[in-house]
């Protein structure tokens, strides 16, 4: 009897230890599950302020001479695009929401810009930043699917190191996400010397957002031939092309010339009246 009495407390202690261990294991499991749940519900997306600051810091930065491959499989270098303004947008071909909208918006803006400056006034490149999947063939198919058939528009791809360097040079932010990639909706203008001049933000913008800074780069740059007839014509085009939102096109406006002509007529008429009055007084004085 005494031996049974001695065994019961030992059995109870063992049971309590087992229950305590089971409780601790359950508690650890719940804590881990809660942590996983918090990770799943953590907000995903861009830090807008930090991304914008990073993007704006690229203004004035010279873009490196990097090696790319175009949609036809031909090698291309960044310096091949020097000498005229360059419009750059970065997409990934598996994107079915933001990227196609950016490309279609840019298409309309480039159409308007080419109407204004001509097809050889500037160049456009679309760079696929998903280096594992955005092959030349995929970029070629993507251009076809988006109906991009405008001249001087190239679709490029490159290895991961080159893409990262390009993105850093132009201040473009992207990173993997459950949807594929999160990235800035950014179109970048680079001047003829290869420096970042302007960013256009958003997936839907009006053509003037692209055309107006291109005017600065093409007609208003410091090395423009301002003393030549070509430079004078460029200056006139700079001030006389107006955007018509109904047609989404730029048109040449003669209102400036009309205003100049009216002003000249008024000044000439006033000068003629003054000269006539002065001659009349001179004749009267002479006759006396």
Is the Cα torsion angle 140, 143, 144, 149 positive or negative in sign?
Answer: negative
**Cβ neighbours of 155 (radius 10 Å):** 28
Quick one: 242 and 227 in the same domain?
yes
Instruction: Assess whether 124 and 246 both reside in one domain.
Output: yes
235 pLDDT more than 70: no
**265: pLDDT strictly greater than 60:** yes
User: Quick one: 164 exposed, middle or buried, by C-beta within 10 A (0-12, 13-18, 19+)?
Assistant: middle
Domain ranges, residue 269:
254-288
Residue with tokens 């002065």: 278
What was the pLDDT predicted at 239? 45
Q: Do residues 216 and 259 both lie within one domain?
A: no
* 243 in Cβ contact with 211 (< 8 Å): yes
pLDDT, tens digit (0-9, with 9 covering 90-100), for 88-105 = 999 999 998 899 999 999
Instruction: Looking at the structure, tell me whether residues 182 and 139 fall in a common domain.
Output: yes
Whole-number pLDDT of residue 259? 53
**Total residue length of the chain:** 288
Q: Which residues pair with 155 in a beta bridge?
A: 126
- pLDDT beyond 80 at 125: yes
**Which CATH number is 109's domain given?**
3.40.30.10
The pLDDT, as a whole number, for residue 177 is 86
Average pLDDT, whole number, for the chain? 77
- One domain for residues 83 and 203: yes
Q: What would the pLDDT profile of 164-199 be if each residue is shown by its tens digit? A: 999 999 999 998 988 889 999 999 999 999 999 999
Strands 123-128 and 86-91: parallel
Task: Report whether pLDDT(107) > 50.
Answer: yes
What pLDDT, on the 0 to 100 scale, is given for residue 26? Answer: 46
Lowest mean pLDDT, pick from 31-40, 52-61, 187-196, 209-218: 31-40
Query: How many helices, marked H, and strands, marked E, lie in the chain?
Result: 8, 11
């Amino acid at each position: 009897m005494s031996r049974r009495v001695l065994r019961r407390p030992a059995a109870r202690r063992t049971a309590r230890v087992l229950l305590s261990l089971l409780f601790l294991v359950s508690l650890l499991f719940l804590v881990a599950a809660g942590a996983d749940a918090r990770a799943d519900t953590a907000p995903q997306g861009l830090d807008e302020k930090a991304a914008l600051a990073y993007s704006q810091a690229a203004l004035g930065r010279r873009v490196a001479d990097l090696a790319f491959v175009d949609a036809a499989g031909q090698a291309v270098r960044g310096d091949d695009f020097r000498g005229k303004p360059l419009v750059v947008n970065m997409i990934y071909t598996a994107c079915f929401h933001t990227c196609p909208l950016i490309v279609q918006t840019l298409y309309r803006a480039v159409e308007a810009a080419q109407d204004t400056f001509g097809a050889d006034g500037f160049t456009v490149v679309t760079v696929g930043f998903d280096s594992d999947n955005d092959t030349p063939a995929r970029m070629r198919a993507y251009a076809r699917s988006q109906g991009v058939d405008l001249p001087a528009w190239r679709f490029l791809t490159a290895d991961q190191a080159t893409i990262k360097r390009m993105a850093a040079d132009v201040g473009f932010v992207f990173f993997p996400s459950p949807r594929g990639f999160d990235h800035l909706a950014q179109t970048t203008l680079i001047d003829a010397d290869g420096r970042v001049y302007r960013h256009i933000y958003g997936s839907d913008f009006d053509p003037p957002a692209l055309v107006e800074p291109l005017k600065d780069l093409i007609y208003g740059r410091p090395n423009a031939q301002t003393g030549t007839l070509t430079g004078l014509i460029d200056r006139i085009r700079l001030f006389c092309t107006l955007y018509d939102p109904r047609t989404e096109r730029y048109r040449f406006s003669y209102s400036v010339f009309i205003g100049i002509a009216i002003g000249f007529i008024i000044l000439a008429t006033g000068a003629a009246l003054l000269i006539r009055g002065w001659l009349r007084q001179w004749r009267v004085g002479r006759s006396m």
